[in-house]
């Protein structure tokens, strides 16, 4: 969360910074700010709320904006202190000579603040970043050198940071530092760029240097110098950025979320491409680096992920356990990292993350790396921190996902997990499910067409959204492989509409949640044909007996059962095993249309950020 940006060159810095920040808005939108430097003059502009508020302020400052060719900027997701202008970055020290933007969390900021206060520093904000600004300025007082000040300050800081700092006495440079927060330096011709993520700079350059943890750098117009954690000069590789400058536009859709939901048929095609060629071919997964012999030795699988990615992992458990015959534990990364986990060289650890930057999952992966387990990373960002930790990297290539609510990346993760489960089964030589797998592969090949068929006419879901948008609470139920779909459907609804929605295993309803049911509680039940169909139907009867409004999502409901439901959405016919991939689209659309009907900020829901880089 939070995004930082820096520019040094001949362009108008304000334009590069604002354009960059607009591509980082997915990382937070509580406030934004820029510092523009011309010679020893530094002007700071900040605004609470969305980036547009800052853009409005800058409209009246054209003189400053035209003349400054060096600057740093920030977009905030509040961690310490309210989302106010005073807490917005950039932050400065008492003498205002040093200006700083920061992504991350400084864990020992209270201690540092106390020390700096006794040294006479005054603080105006509640942020940890202001403490870092004072600390670096204090160190500057000792050496009169911004690089050295940064190098000694970061040694005193505990926690995560990506910093960009400028100093009035050194107007030809931006000094940067990184630990456990992403930072990339875009390499240009007579200009250089700094950003938390490449979409912010991709329109200017295709070459970049990724800073490693512990590194500090000086970025000038014509040079970049990097120092390692021992303060020695080091060389980082200049890498070609992995994607073309893409017009990230809504393509006529009202919101990115709707566009991304509609992209899911292509997403499935992309993930299958080159891996699944025909129903009677084996899965090709060149990215998976374990030999068949080593695969046969895998004793357990551990999946770590958060939020929507965690729900994909839960579907993964069903299919890996069934087809590959390996026990699978799925756990939120934030829990995994605070207990003694048992993993060894015969454990396969799968980290799933759209962004590849989720701090909890990165920590989990780093912890388990020390245990010699093989680590697979399933991510939408092959250039991310997590991708760099992988022994086997499975990029899902869903394309940039702008909407904060994950949709198409979930689909890509699901399909990747189907590929992985079948691959493990085939490499282990398990034959028990051969016939079923031939059918599943054929279904996967046909899935993009079914996704398109489902998305062709969504009027019924729009009507449902209107009908149910006034309810304050919602329950989603399912059993078996669709239990994670119920959790994910509830998450989608609550995060963008702020309706209190909860997912349950349908069989759990009677163990407590049923107490909440009455005519004011809609229950959405997912019931695909399969071993749990009748059981879910019974759970629906129990809900109906408590007068709950009942919505069924299914590929088939027998005529005799239809009267039980107030509303039904029928999806294209699909096996129970693959049904999570179609059911979820209905739930994504329902959440979308409810939020849209309620006039919510669908793509940027309150309090959220797309990349959660703090623990
Ligand atoms: C929900 C959502 C979040 C993320 C979670 C993990 O729509 O997007 O729950 O899934 O923050 O993020 P990644 O997948 O980037 O690790």
* Cα–Cα nearest to 164, from 190, 203, 200: 200
Whether ligand 1 lies within 6 angstroms of the CB of 354 is answered as yes
**Where is 116: in which H helix or E strand?**
helix 109-118
405 lines ligand 1 (CB under 6 A): yes
Residue 121 a catalytic site member: no
Distances (CA, A) of 514 to 127, 239, 480, 509, 522: 44, 56, 19, 5, 12
Ligand 1 atom with the shortest distance to the CA of 409: 14
Kindly state the helix (H) or strand (E) to which residue 106 belongs, with its residue range: strand 98-106
Question: Residue range 72-101: average pLDDT?
Answer: 94
At 425-478, the pLDDT tens digits run: 999 999 999 999 999 999 999 999 999 999 999 999 999 999 999 999 999 999
Q: How far apart are CA 487 and CA 241, in angstroms?
A: 35
From CA 380, how far away is CA 126, in angstroms rounded? 35
Token pair 């202001």 in the structure block, residue? 130
Taking 90 as the threshold, does the pLDDT of residue 530 lie above it? no
Pair 306, 353: CB distance under 8 Å:
yes
* First-to-final CA distance of the chain: 10
Å from CA of 306 to ligand 1 middle: 6
Q: Closest Cα partner for 428 from 315, 290, 313?
A: 290
Nearest CA to ligand 1 atom 16: 353
The pair phi, psi for residue 87, each rounded to 5°, is: -85, -10
Distances (CA, A) of 451 to 96, 353, 417, 585, 586: 56, 23, 18, 8, 10
pLDDT digits (tens, 9 = 90+) for 41-71: 999 999 999 999 999 999 988 877 788 999 9
Residue 282 DSSP one-character state = P
Q: Give the model confidence (pLDDT) of 467-511 as tens digits.
A: 999 999 999 999 999 999 999 999 999 999 999 999 999 999 999
Following DSSP, what letter does each residue of 394-463 receive, concatenated? EE-------SSS-SHHHHHHHHHHHHHHHHHHHHHT--TTHHHHHHHHHHHHHHHHHHHHHHH--HHHHH
Dist. CA 238 → ligand 1 center (Å): 30
Candidates 190, 186, 185, 175; CA nearest to 69 is: 190
Å from CA of 545 to ligand 1 middle? 36
Q: What is the pLDDT of residues 391-406, one digit of tens each?
A: 999 999 898 898 999 9
pLDDT reported for residue 382: 87
The structure tokens listed for 560 are 């005799």
- Cα(98) to ligand 1 centroid in Å equals 35
Query: How many angstroms is it from 458 CA to the middle of ligand 1?
Result: 25
Give the residue whose CA is nearest to atom 8 of ligand 1: 406
Q: What is the mean pLDDT of residues 32-40?
A: 95
Give the position of tokens 């059981």: 535
Residue nearest to atom 4 of ligand 1 (CA): 307
334 lines ligand 1 (CB under 6 A): no
Q: Which of 356, 491, 612, 613 to mutate to test the pocket of ligand 1 (most atoms within 8 A of CB)?
A: 612
Q: How do residues 116-151 score in pLDDT, each as one tens digit?
A: 999 999 999 999 999 999 999 999 999 999 999 999
Q: Yes or no: say if 352 and 303 are a contact pair by the CB < 8 Å rule.
A: yes
Beta strands in 264-346 (DSSP E): 300-305, 328-332
Q: Quote the percentage of the chain above a pLDDT of 70.
A: 99
Mean pLDDT of all residues in 516-525: 96
Query: Taking 80 as the threshold, does the pLDDT of residue 354 lie above it?
Result: yes
The pLDDT, as a whole number, for residue 609 is 81
The residues with which 8 forms a beta bridge, in sequence order, are: 70, 192
Ligand 1 atom, smallest distance to 610 CA: 8
**Residue ranges with strand state E in 471-605:** 473-478, 500-505, 522-526, 549-554, 567-570
Q: Which of 2, 93, 164, 540 is catalytic?
A: 2
Output the residue whose Cα is nearest ligand 1's atom 7: 405
Match 């329950």 to its residue by tokens: 475
Q: Ligand 1, atom 3: nearest CA belongs to which residue?
A: 307
As a whole number, mean pLDDT of residues 8-31 equals 94
The first and second tokens of residue 235, run together, are: 């060389």
State pLDDT tens for residues 191-233: 999 999 988 999 999 999 999 999 999 999 999 999 999 999 9
Ligand 1 binding pocket includes 495 (Cβ within 6 Å)? yes
Single pTM value for the model? 0.85
Q: Is 95 a catalytic residue?
A: no
500-505, strands of its sheet edge to edge: 500-505, 473-478, 522-526, 549-554, 567-570
Mutate to test the pocket of ligand 1, among 28, 305, 406, 606 (most ligand atoms within 8 A of CB): 406
Report the Cα 172 to chain-centroid distance in Å: 35
Instruction: Output the six-digit token pair for 74.
Output: 């920030």
Which helix (H) or strand (E) segment is 476 a member of?
Answer: strand 473-478
Counting residues of the chain whose pLDDT is more than 90, the rounded percentage is: 88
How far does residue 406's CA lie from ligand 1's centre (Å)? 6
Alpha helices in 281-358 (DSSP H): 292-297, 307-319, 333-336
Q: What is the pLDDT of residue 246?
A: 53
272 pLDDT exceeds 80? yes
Whose CA is closest to atom 5 on ligand 1? 307
Which of 257, 308, 311, 414 most suits a substitution to test ligand 1, by most atoms within 8 Å of the C-beta? 308
Distance 598 CA to ligand 1 centre (A): 23
Q: How many C-beta atoms surround the C-beta of residue 315 within 10 A?
A: 26
CA of 490 to the centre of ligand 1 (A): 14
C-alpha 106: how far from chain center: 21
- Please check whether residue 413 is in contact with residue 396, taking contact to mean a CB–CB distance below 8 angstroms: yes
Distance from C-alpha of 232 to C-alpha of 552, rounded to nearest angstrom: 63
d(CA 190, CA 69): 12
- CA 164/CA 201 separation, integer angstroms: 15
**Cα dihedral sign, 543-549-554-559:** positive
What would the pLDDT profile of 149-202 be if each residue is shown by its tens digit?
A: 999 999 999 999 999 999 999 999 999 999 989 999 999 999 999 999 988 999
Across the chain, mean pLDDT equals 94
3-state SS class at 87 = coil
- Probe residue for ligand 1, chosen from 77, 307, 364 as the CB with the greatest number of ligand atoms within 8 Å: 307
Q: Which strands form 374-379's sheet, in the order they lie side by side?
A: 328-332, 300-305, 347-353, 374-379, 392-395
- What pLDDT band is residue 247 in, cutting at 50, 70 and 90? very low
Is 406 near ligand 1, meaning CB less than 6 Å away?
A: yes
Confirm or reject: Cβ of 613 under 6 Å from ligand 1.
Answer: no
Region label for 275, one of left (φ > 0), alpha (ψ between -120 and 50) or beta (otherwise): alpha
Q: Of the residues 46, 113, 494, 610, which is catalytic?
A: 610
The verdict on the CB of residue 355 being under 6 Å from ligand 1 is yes
Decide if pLDDT at 612 tops 60. yes
Q: Which of 90, 95, 138 is nearest to 113 (CA)?
A: 138
Q: Is any ligand 1 atom within 6 A of the Cβ of residue 306?
A: yes
Local structure of 5: helix, strand or coil: strand
Strands 184-187 and 192-195: antiparallel
In a 3-state reduction of DSSP, which class is residue 163? strand
Is 62 strand, coil or helix? Answer: helix
Distance 332 CA to ligand 1 centre (A): 11
């Amino acid at each position: 969360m939070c995004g930082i940006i820096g520019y040094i060159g001949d362009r108008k810095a304000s334009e590069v910074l604002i354009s960059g920040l607009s591509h980082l808005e997915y990382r937070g939108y509580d406030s934004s700010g820029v510092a523009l430097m011309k010679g020893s003059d530094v002007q700071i502009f900040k605004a609470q709320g969305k980036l547009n508020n800052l853009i409005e302020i800058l409209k009246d400052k054209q003189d400053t904006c035209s003349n400054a060719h060096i600057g740093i900027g920030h977009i905030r997701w509040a961690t310490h202190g309210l989302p106010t202008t005073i807490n917005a970055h950039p932050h400065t020290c008492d003498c205002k000579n040093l200006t700083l933007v920061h992504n991350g969390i400084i864990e020992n900021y209270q201690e540092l603040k106390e020390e700096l206060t006794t040294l006479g520093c005054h603080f105006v904000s509640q942020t940890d970043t202001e403490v870092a600004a004072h600390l670096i300025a204090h160190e500057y007082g000792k050496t009169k050198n911004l690089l050295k000040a940064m190098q000694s300050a970061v040694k005193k800081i505990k926690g995560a940071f990506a910093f960009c700092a400028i100093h009035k006495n050194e107007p030809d440079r931006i000094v940067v530092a990184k630990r456990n927060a992403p930072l990339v330096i875009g390499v240009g011709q007579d200009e250089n760029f700094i950003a938390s993520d490449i979409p912010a700079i991709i329109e200017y350059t295709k070459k970049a240097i990724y800073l490693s943890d512990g590194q500090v750098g000086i970025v000038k117009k014509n040079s970049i110098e990097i120092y390692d954690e021992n303060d020695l000069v080091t060389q980082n590789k200049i890498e070609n950025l992995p994607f073309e400058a893409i017009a990230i536009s809504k393509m006529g859709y009202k919101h990115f979320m709707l566009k991304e939901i509609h992209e899911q048929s292509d997403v499935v095609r992309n993930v299958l491409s080159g891996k699944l060629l025909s129903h009677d071919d084996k899965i090709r997964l060149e990215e998976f680096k374990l030999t068949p012999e080593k695969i046969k030795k895998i004793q357990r699988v551990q999946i770590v992920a958060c939020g929507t990615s965690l729900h994909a992992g839960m579907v993964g458990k069903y299919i890996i356990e069934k087809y590959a015959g390996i026990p699978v534990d799925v756990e939120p990364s934030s829990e995994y990292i605070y207990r003694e986990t048992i993993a060894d060289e015969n454990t396969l650890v799968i980290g799933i993350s759209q962004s590849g930057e989720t701090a909890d999952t990165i920590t989990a992966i780093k912890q388990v790396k020390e245990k010699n387990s093989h680590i697979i990373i399933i991510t939408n960002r092959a250039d991310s921190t997590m991708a760099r930790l992988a022994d086997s990297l499975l990029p899902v290539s869903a394309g940039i996902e702008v909407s904060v609510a994950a949709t198409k990346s979930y689909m890509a993760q699901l399909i990747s997990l189907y590929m992985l489960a079948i691959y493990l089964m085939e490499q282990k030589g398990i034959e028990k499910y051969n016939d079923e797998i031939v059918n599943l592969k054929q279904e996967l090949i046909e899935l993009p067409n079914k996704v398109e068929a489902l998305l062709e006419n969504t009027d019924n879901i729009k009507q449902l959204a209107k009908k149910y948008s006034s309810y304050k609470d919602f329950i989603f139920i399912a059993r078996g492989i669709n239990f994670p779909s119920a959790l994910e459907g509830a998450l989608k609804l609550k995060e963008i509409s702020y309706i209190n929605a909860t997912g349950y295993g349908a069989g759990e309803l009677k163990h407590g949640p049923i107490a909440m049911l009455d005519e004011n509680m809609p229950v959405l039940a997912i019931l695909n044909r399969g071993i749990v169909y009748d059981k879910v139907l019974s759970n629906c009867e129990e809900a109906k007996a408590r007068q709950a409004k009942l919505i069924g999502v299914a590929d088939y409901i027998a005529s005799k059962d239809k009267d039980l439901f107030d509303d039904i959405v029928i999806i294209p016919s699909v096996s129970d095993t693959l049904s999570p991939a179609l059911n979820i689209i209905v739930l994504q659309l329902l959440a979308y249309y409810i939020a849209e009907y309620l006039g919510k900020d669908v793509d940027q829901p309150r309090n959220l950020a797309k990349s959660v880089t703090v623990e």
